[in-house]
């Protein structure tokens, strides 16, 4: 993986904020120090205007969010302006470095990636210098988006985006691996470096926090990633103000040295079998109605068959938990087959503290009534689905059952938060995949703005029942608050159940009104308003707001947070 400016072959249209060493380039830093990322007041105003329109109309289709030909041309000029840097737009859409809400806090940085397929924009990319790249299984054109969501650990309060980057493969399928060879690629041009980049971005923005925990899915369980995101030896000795940890869903059954002297070295899963369980409890697993489409290639014609299966059935599952603290068996790891040369492995381990780092594996698996592990479960159509089997790797200290349960709970929240973020970006929110622009740069700018709006939607979901900690002025302007008050008079009833129970100074007050506009009924306490309802409510509210603004002659508002 590479930056467009740095590498002529391989992954295309990749744009990262920091360099591989974590140091910002001077041009970006000078723009940051000036307080303006666009170098021109007109571009600044146009960016504020377009960002506000995308949030108001919950769409990334230019024709849908602009009024008339003049506004459409204004948006097109901004998106295709040669002086508008995507990196600056990304920084503008993420949490500000000087944000006071991060100071002294314990934060979670939840990182994941999603594929954005720009099927409707393919025809417009012909003849461009940077055509849309290949994503997914090689049949689609688009961009892979790697995003980080900053969340408070104490109450899982969503604060905003911590990182954002885009990448794809070029149409010819060439890569740094083909160009330089499997073992000769620089570490920063390998695919796992996307996780390292997301961690570096978050570390830079949360430098004033007390502790930052990076939560990553199974793709992050890579030695190239672990060796670079764990604190280096000199950094550990200097005791940086920001304490960083990782919490990763493990996929590799590595050889380790347990800290327990009664156990010898061995594979982590085998060692965990020898450790007594510390907890056993039952949970209700909801039915997953998503469908999985898998491509099967057979014969010389390479035909494709689409198979539709149910991902997960709802059931009451019994879970057993174990944990074990250990250190990596570095001698064994160097002998293990890897896509890195021995010299690169030596360099990687020499600059990392991974060989001395205390790591804890927390294993959560599903068992039957007799305490035997369950590998599959049967759904209503007699199809097998995978049972719960989580192996979580963390640098957080785990000294008790309570600590292990906290690690599991953090990872459980990861899926709920980050998946909803990408859900709001696509069909259930801003519908970024139907955007049509003539350059990849314009599509990336639209995606960054929409991702910022999706993070606001996640913040609103987190603020549904919180009567403190979410000031309404941070997300709505004073004229918008006045219109919300007018809407409240229509949607608030006479009974206590139909009355907005939240203080008017908090975001939860606005969320209640917007949910009512979106069709939510206060009596439905078992089903609080979700992303679809809030997205529908926001769309209708901003339409109402535009009508009130026109009737009262308000000036166009471009200062919306």
- In the predicted structure, residue 89 carries a pLDDT above the cut 80: yes
What are the pLDDT digits (tens) for 54-70?
887 778 888 888 888 99
What pLDDT does residue 183 have? 54
Q: Please, are residues 521 and 493 in contact by the beta-carbon 8 Å criterion?
A: no
CA–CA separation, 62 and 279 (whole Å): 53
What pLDDT does residue 361 have? 95
Torsion angle in degrees (nearest 10) through CA of 39, 8, 195, 37: 0
**Vertex 358, ends 318 and 209: CA angle to 5°?**
90
Q: Please, are residues 367 and 318 in contact by the beta-carbon 8 Å criterion?
A: yes
Decide the pairing of beta strands 315-328 and 279-285.
antiparallel
By C-alpha distance, which of 47, 14, 400 is closest to 197? 14
Distances (CA, A) of 310 to 97, 287, 415, 422: 43, 9, 18, 21
Distances (CA, A) of 159 to 100, 453, 460: 11, 12, 10
What pLDDT does residue 134 have? 76
What pLDDT does residue 456 have? 82
Q: Which H/E stretch holds residue 552?
A: helix 531-552
What pLDDT does residue 162 have? 92
CATH class label, 464-552:
mainly alpha
- In the predicted structure, residue 334 carries a pLDDT above the cut 80: no
Q: Which H/E stretch holds residue 391?
A: strand 389-394
Which range scores top for mean pLDDT: 304-313, 331-340, 401-410, 488-497?
A: 401-410
Q: Which two tokens stand for residue 257?
A: 């040295």
Region 513-534: mean pLDDT is 84
What pLDDT does residue 213 have? 94
Region 88-101: mean pLDDT is 80
Region 470-481: mean pLDDT is 86
pLDDT interval class at 125 (50, 70, 90):
low
What are the pLDDT digits (tens) for 255-279?
888 987 688 888 999 999 999 999 8
Q: Which H/E stretch holds residue 256?
A: strand 255-258
By C-alpha distance, which of 251, 219, 216, 276 is closest to 410? 216
By C-alpha distance, which of 107, 394, 110, 349 is closest to 243? 107
Residue ranges matching CATH 1.10.740.10 in the chain: 464-552
- In the predicted structure, residue 52 carries a pLDDT above the cut 60: yes
CA–CA separation, 117 and 130 (whole Å): 16
Region 210-215: mean pLDDT is 93
Region 108-113: mean pLDDT is 93
CA–CA separation, 471 and 475 (whole Å): 8
What pLDDT does residue 142 have? 84
- In the predicted structure, residue 320 carries a pLDDT above the cut 70: yes
Q: Which residues pair with 293 in a beta bridge?
A: 308
Q: What is the pTM of this model?
A: 0.81
CA–CA separation, 87 and 94 (whole Å): 11
Location of structure tokens 């930052």: 212
Region 215-243: mean pLDDT is 73
Region 174-185: mean pLDDT is 54
pLDDT interval class at 492 (50, 70, 90):
confident
- In the predicted structure, residue 126 carries a pLDDT above the cut 80: no
What are the pLDDT digits (tens) for 355-407?
788 899 999 998 888 888 887 665 544 455 678 889 999 999 999 999 999 99
pLDDT interval class at 215 (50, 70, 90):
very high
- In the predicted structure, residue 292 carries a pLDDT above the cut 90: no
Burial of 31 (0-12, 13-18, 19+ CB in 10 A): middle
CA–CA separation, 110 and 453 (whole Å): 17
């Amino acid at each position: 993986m590479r930056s467009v400016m740095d590498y002529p072959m391989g992954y295309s249209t990749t744009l990262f904020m920091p360099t591989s060493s974590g140091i910002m380039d001077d041009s970006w830093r000078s723009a940051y120090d000036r307080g303006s990322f666009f170098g021109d007041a007109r571009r600044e105003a146009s960016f504020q205007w377009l960002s506000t329109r995308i949030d108001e109309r919950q769409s990334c289709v230019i024709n849908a969010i602009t009024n008339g030909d003049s506004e459409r041309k204004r948006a097109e000029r901004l998106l295709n302006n040669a002086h508008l840097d995507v990196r600056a737009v990304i920084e503008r859409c993420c949490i500000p470095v000087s944000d006071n809400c991060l100071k002294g806090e314990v934060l979670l940085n939840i990182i994941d990636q999603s594929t954005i397929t720009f099927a409707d924009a393919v025809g417009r990319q012909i003849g461009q210098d940077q055509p849309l790249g290949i994503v997914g299984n090689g049949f689609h054109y688009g961009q892979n988006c790697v995003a980080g969501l900053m969340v408070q650990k104490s109450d899982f309060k969503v604060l905003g985006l911590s990182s954002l980057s885009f990448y794809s493969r070029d149409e010819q399928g060439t890569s740094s691996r083909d160009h330089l060879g499997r073992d000769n690629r620089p570490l920063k041009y390998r695919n796992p470096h996307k996780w390292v980049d997301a961690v570096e971005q978050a570390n830079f923005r949360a430098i004033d926090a007390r502790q930052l925990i990076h939560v990553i899915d199974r793709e992050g369980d890579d030695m190239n990633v672990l060796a670079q995101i764990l604190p280096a030896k000199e950094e550990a000795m200097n005791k940086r103000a920001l304490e960083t940890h990782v919490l990763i869903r493990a996929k590799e059954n590595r050889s380790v040295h347990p800290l327990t002297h009664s156990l010898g070295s061995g594979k982590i899963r085998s060692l965990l079998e020898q450790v007594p369980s510390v907890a056993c409890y039952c949970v209700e697993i909801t039915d997953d109605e998503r469908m999985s489409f898998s491509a099967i290639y057979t014969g010389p014609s390479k035909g494709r068959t689409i198979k539709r299966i149910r991902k997960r059935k709802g059931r009451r599952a019994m879970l057993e938990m174990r944990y074990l603290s250990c250190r990596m068996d570095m001698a064994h790891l160097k002998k293990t087959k890897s896509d890195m040369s021995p010299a690169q492995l030596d360099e990687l381990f020499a600059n990392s503290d991974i060989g001395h780092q205390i790591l804890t594996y927390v294993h959560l698996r599903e068992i039957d009534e007799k305490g035997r592990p369950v590998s599959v479960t049967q759904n209503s159509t007699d199809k097998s689905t995978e049972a719960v089997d989580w192996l979580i790797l963390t640098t957080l200290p785990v000294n008790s059952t309570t600590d292990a349960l906290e690690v599991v709970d953090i990872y459980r929240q990861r899926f709920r938060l980050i998946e909803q973020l990408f859900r709001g970006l696509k069909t259930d929110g801003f519908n970024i995949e139907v955007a049509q622009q003539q350059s990849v740069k314009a599509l990336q700018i639209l995606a960054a703005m929409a991702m910022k709006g999706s993070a606001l939607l996640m913040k609103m979901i987190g603020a549904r029942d919180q009567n403190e900690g979410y000031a309404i002025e941070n997300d709505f302007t004073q004229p918008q608050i006045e219109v919300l008050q007018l809407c409240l008079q229509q949607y608030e009833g006479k009974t206590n159940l139909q009355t907005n129970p939240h203080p008017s100074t908090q975001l939860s007050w606005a969320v209640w009104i917007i949910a009512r506009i979106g069709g939510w009924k206060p009596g439905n306490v078992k089903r609080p308003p979700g992303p679809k309802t809030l997205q529908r409510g926001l769309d209708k509210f901003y339409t109402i707001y535009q009508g009130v603004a026109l009737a009262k002659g308000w000036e166009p508002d471009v200062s919306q947070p």
